[in-house]
Amino acid sequence: LNWVDAYTNLPATAKHCTLTHNSDITRLFLSLMEIDIGLHYQGWSKQQARVTLQERLRLTDFEADRLVEGTVLYPATIFSLTPFVIFSS
């Protein structure tokens, strides 16, 4: 280990961290990020993304379908909005 360069043990540090943003808007953003990555990187189906949203956010079929369609049509848009959520929470 190189202590001169300010080594940080990231796995040990992460174990001691807690999620401080428990607001509904943060939960929404995290869920949308999850399905965005699932759909565009991991190859999820729209059905899988819809079920994930409904489990995380308790949405109706209509609401979940609209969010999934928006994510399919506009990939990674949710990530561009992240700074606004992080700094306003």
Residue 1 lies in a domain: no
Number of structural domains in the chain: 1
For 59-80, write each residue's pLDDT tens digit: 999 999 999 999 999 999 988 8
Predicted confidence band of residue 83 (pLDDT cuts 50, 70, 90): confident
For 3-47, write each residue's pLDDT tens digit: 566 666 767 776 766 655 567 888 888 899 999 999 999 999 999
Closest C-alpha among 20, 37, 83 to residue 52 = 37
Residue 6 lies in a domain: no
Residue 72 lies in a domain: yes
Supply the pLDDT for residue 81: 81
Supply the pLDDT for residue 11: 72
SS (H, E, C) 71-87: HHHCCCHHHHCHHHHHH
Closest C-alpha among 17, 20, 32 to residue 75 = 32
**Does residue 37 contact residue 23 with C-beta atoms inside 8 Å?**
no
Closest C-alpha among 89, 27, 79, 76 to residue 53 = 27
Helices (H) and strands (E) in the chain, counts: 6, 0
Structure tokens at 51: 């079920």
Residue 7 lies in a domain: no
Domain that holds residue 37: 22-88
Supply the pLDDT for residue 22: 63
For 48-57, write each residue's pLDDT tens digit: 999 999 999 9
Residue 41 lies in a domain: yes
Structure tokens at 32: 């949308």
Residue 3 lies in a domain: no
